[in-house]
């Protein structure tokens, strides 16, 4: 058996699941090579990921090889999002008989099972995987690699053995570098693949194509394909610090090799283990990142830190201390697993402190696996310039105007009392529009003085409400006439959080203790109901105005008793659009937005 020379600190990854050298010379059946074409803005792609992984888990380790290829429009990043596309992946997708018509879709050994296209829908992957695994193969593949974590040089040895002669005139050997647990954005994972969600709402991408190690995306032509032939190849590749704009985790890399007839009809393939070498220490935990909310509210932070394992031993425990502005330390003991050359984000318990104008969060990792860390130089990191919340609401009566795009079913918002972590108000999801466009949803509520609030806005698809299907957004205001406290143009991707405080003394509603102001349904078609509550009887004028400020309907001009009141508003004769319901009293005016849709 061939062996590779390793340093004194070397780690072999997942050896039992991989085909190591030497290659088997016994006849065997085919393996499944499932190339899944996917993206980060593909609503059903997480379902494809789960189906592929379920097929892999249901079979003997190493017999099913999923490869996730990010390509096409759904893989195009937006703004600062990572780019997971590769030139090789694009070339594979462009094979003339691939026939990609939608995402996710998959190629099962690049074989045409039905129709004229290689790719097929995820619903039949399991069926054809079983069929493929039952077929005999005339070739076996095995490979293994070693990666020096200091030089980042990857050396891969591959062996191919023909137990029978290839019927094709040309065979190609393709060697791929994949990566697991790539943390990034994804659409709709909560509905289809929740096990891959991280604590911070990101997604773990698996089996992601990073590089084809041959000189061509279609592999390397094998000169001899007769029965009894042994082919041996070696490849070297220096892992870059970044693939486009995202950093690889060396410990999450994996190798795949397969033999195909020309550039289609894959016969068989294998995973290969990567042995890590070149570590300077066995115990070396690095504080890689420190994060928290963008602002401080109520002297509370919910800190997170990412710990990277620079050592050759798996980190199973570590002691963490942290503080804000050099104050009293908080302590946390991590127990889990961080394999060599990988990282893990850890959510630390909430810390309270006295905030200043700008604040610094400090995190230090101490003992590792019950003993001192052997490299103290990378044990401490700080997150500075954490600003004190400057948004102050002065009114007890607030309104959230949320304008959806075409896909209202993806949109939600929630307002939390941050200290109690309770929901004060919320709205959405809403009904989708029949075409590209916008629709306003307005909701009013009351808040308490001297509190911190967090507004969470989410989009299930991950593209906000201003990405080509309507120019949506939102505005949270707390005074009349409306003065915006928080605004957004709707380009918030998967979602965002915003914080504000309320003043120690809030202005009242200006209308005799009016509260619980709601309009339902909103949007309305023919009729809407205005509900409100008064602390004492009041004379009120209720009227509807258009966007130009012109009166279009007087609803009521009378006295209302203390307590809950309901007023019906006839919207039958109103055109589709946005209107303001204005309530006038002796001591003030309030407005509530309403959408009318026909």
Contact 407, 188 (CB under 8 A): no
Highest mean pLDDT among 258-267, 459-468, 553-562: 258-267
First to last CA, the chain: 76
Q: Cα dist. 64→16, 160, 192, 245, 270 in Å?
A: 14, 18, 21, 30, 9
Task: Tell me what the mean pLDDT of segment 133-143 comes to.
Answer: 98
- What pLDDT is attached to residue 401? 92
- What pLDDT is attached to residue 79? 79
Q: How far apart are CA 386 and CA 373, in angstroms?
A: 29
Confidence of residue 8 (pLDDT cuts 50, 70, 90): very low
Size of the chain, expressed as the number of residues it contains? 598
Q: Write a three-state SS string for 508-526.
A: CCCCCCCEEEEEECCCECC
Decide if pLDDT at 111 tops 70.
yes
User: What is the second-level CATH architecture of the domain 285-388?
Assistant: Sandwich (2.60)
Decide if pLDDT at 90 tops 70.
yes
Q: How far apart are CA 465 and CA 474, in angstroms?
A: 9
Does domain 392-596 fall under CATH 2.60.40.1930? My reply is yes
Q: How far apart are CA 290 and CA 310, in angstroms?
A: 17
Superfamily of domain 11-277: Immunoglobulins (2.60.40.10)
- Mean pLDDT of all residues belonging to the chain: 91
What SS3 state is found at 73? helix
Output phi, psi for 111, to 5 deg: -105, 140
- What pLDDT is attached to residue 598? 83
**pLDDT digits 0-9 by tens, 219-272:** 999 999 999 999 999 999 999 999 999 999 999 999 999 999 998 999 999 999
Helix residue ranges, H only, 74-208 = 87-93, 125-133, 189-192
- What pLDDT is attached to residue 509? 56
State how beta strands 105-108 and 119-120 pair: antiparallel
Q: 152-156, 193-197, 264-268, 363-367: lowest mean pLDDT where?
A: 193-197
- What pLDDT is attached to residue 519? 87
Residues with Cβ within 8 Å of residue 124, at least 6 apart in sequence: 113, 114
Contact 278, 148 (CB under 8 A): yes
- What pLDDT is attached to residue 278? 97
- What pLDDT is attached to residue 1? 28
Q: Note the pTM of the prediction, 2 decimals.
A: 0.78
Q: How far apart are CA 472 and CA 483, in angstroms?
A: 19
Q: How far apart are CA 37 and CA 105, in angstroms?
A: 6
Q: How far apart are CA 458 and CA 414, in angstroms?
A: 9
Q: How far apart are CA 484 and CA 365, in angstroms?
A: 43
**pLDDT digits 0-9 by tens, 33-60:** 999 999 998 889 999 999 999 999 999 9
Q: 């991590």: which residue's tokens? A: 334
Confidence of residue 66 (pLDDT cuts 50, 70, 90): very high
Number of Cβ within 10 Å of residue 195's Cβ equals 8
CB crowding 293-326: b at 16 or more within 10 Å, else e: bebbbbbbbebbbbbbbbbbbebeebbbebbbee
Closest of 576, 556, 483, 565 to residue 530, by C-alpha: 565
Contact 501, 455 (CB under 8 A): no
Closest of 146, 149, 111 to residue 131, by C-alpha: 111
Bond from prior residue into 117 cis (ω within 30 degrees of 0): no
Confidence of residue 294 (pLDDT cuts 50, 70, 90): confident
Q: How far apart are CA 238 and CA 406, in angstroms?
A: 46
- Which percentage of the chain shows pLDDT scores above 90? 73
- What pLDDT is attached to residue 16? 42
Task: Tell me what the mean pLDDT of segment 345-362 comes to.
Answer: 94
Which residues make beta-bridge pairs with 559? Answer: 539
Q: Cα dist. 392→301, 455, 500 in Å?
A: 18, 14, 6
Q: How far apart are CA 252 and CA 64, in angstroms?
A: 18
Q: How far apart are CA 180 and CA 253, in angstroms?
A: 6
Q: Which two tokens stand for residue 214?
A: 């041959």
Task: Tell me what the mean pLDDT of segment 529-535 comes to.
Answer: 86
The kind and range of the H/E element at 185 are none
Which residues make beta-bridge pairs with 543? Answer: 554, 582
Q: Do domains 285-388 and 392-596 have the same CATH topology?
A: yes
Sequence spans of domains, the chain: 11-277, 285-388, 392-596
**pLDDT digits 0-9 by tens, 380-400:** 999 999 999 989 998 888 889
Q: How far apart are CA 84 and CA 65, in angstroms?
A: 19
Decide if pLDDT at 273 tops 50.
yes
């Amino acid at each position: 058996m061939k062996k590779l020379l390793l340093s004194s600190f070397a780690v072999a990854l997942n050896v039992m699941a991989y085909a190591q050298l030497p290659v088997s010379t016994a006849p065997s059946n085919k393996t499944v090579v499932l190339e899944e074409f996917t993206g980060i803005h593909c609503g059903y792609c997480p379902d494809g990921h789960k189906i592929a992984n379920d097929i892999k888990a249901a079979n003997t380790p190493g017999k099913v090889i999923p490869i996730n290829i990010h390509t096409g429009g759904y893989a195009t990043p937006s703004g600062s999002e990572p780019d997971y596309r590769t030139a090789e992946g694009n070339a594979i997708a462009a094979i003339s008989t691939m026939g990609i018509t939608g995402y996710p879709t998959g190629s099962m050994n690049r074989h045409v099972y039905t129709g004229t296209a290689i790719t097929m829908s995820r619903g039949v992957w399991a069926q054809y995987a079983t069929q493929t695994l039952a077929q005999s193969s005339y070739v076996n593949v095995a490979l293994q690699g070693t990666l020096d974590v200091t030089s980042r040089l990857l050396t891969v040895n591959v062996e191919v053995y023909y137990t029978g002669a290839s019927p094709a005139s040309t065979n190609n050997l393709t060697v791929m570098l994949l990566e697991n647990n790539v943390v990034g954005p994804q659409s709709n994972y909560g509905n289809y693949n929740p096990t891959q969600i991280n604590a911070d709402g990101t997604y773990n991408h698996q089996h992601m194509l990073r590089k084809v190690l041959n000189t061509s995306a279609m592999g390397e032509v094998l000169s001899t394909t007769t029965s009894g032939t042994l082919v041996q190849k070696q490849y070297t590749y220096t892992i870059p610090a970044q693939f486009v704009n995202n950093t690889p985790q060396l410990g999450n890399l994996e190798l795949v090799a397969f033999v195909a007839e020309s550039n289609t009809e894959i016969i068989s393939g294998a995973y290969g283990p990567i042995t890590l070498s070149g570590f300077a220490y066995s115990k070396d935990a690095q504080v890689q990142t420190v994060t928290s909310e963008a602002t401080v509210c109520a002297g509370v932070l919910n800190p997170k830190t990412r710990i990277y394992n620079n050592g050759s031993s798996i980190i199973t425990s570590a002691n963490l201390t942290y503080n804000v502005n050099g104050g009293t330390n908080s302590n946390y003991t991590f127990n889990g697993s961080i394999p060599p050359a990988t990282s893990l984000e850890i959510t630390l318990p909430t810390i309270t402190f006295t905030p200043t104008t700008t604040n610094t969060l400090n995190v230090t990792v101490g003992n590792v696996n019950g003993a001192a860390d052997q490299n103290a130089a990378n044990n401490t990191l700080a997150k500075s310039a954490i600003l004190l919340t400057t948004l102050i609401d002065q009114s007890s009566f607030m309104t959230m105007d949320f304008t959806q795009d075409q896909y209202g079913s993806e949109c939600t918002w929630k307002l939390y009392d941050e200290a109690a972590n309770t929901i004060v108000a919320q709205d959405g999801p809403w009904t989708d529009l029949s075409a590209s466009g916008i629709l306003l949803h307005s909701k009013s509520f009351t808040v308490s003085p001297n509190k911190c609030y967090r507004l969470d806005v989410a989009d299930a698809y991950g593209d906000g409400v201003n990405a080509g299907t309507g120019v949506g957004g939102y505005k949270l205001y707390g005074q009349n006439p409306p003065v915006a406290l928080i605004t957004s143009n709707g380009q918030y991707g998967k979602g965002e959080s915003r914080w504000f405080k309320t003043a120690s003394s809030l202005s009242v509603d200006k209308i005799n203790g009016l509260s619980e102001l709601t309009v339902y349904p909103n949007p309305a078609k023919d009729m809407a109901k205005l509900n409100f509550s008064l602390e004492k009887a009041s004379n009120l004028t209720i009227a509807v105005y258009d966007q130009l400020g012109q009166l279009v309907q007087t609803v009521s001009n009378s006295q209302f008793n203390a307590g809950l009141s309901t007023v019906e508003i006839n919207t039958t004769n109103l055109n589709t659009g946005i209107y303001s319901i204005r309530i006038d009293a002796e001591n003030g005016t309030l407005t509530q937005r309403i959408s009318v849709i026909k």
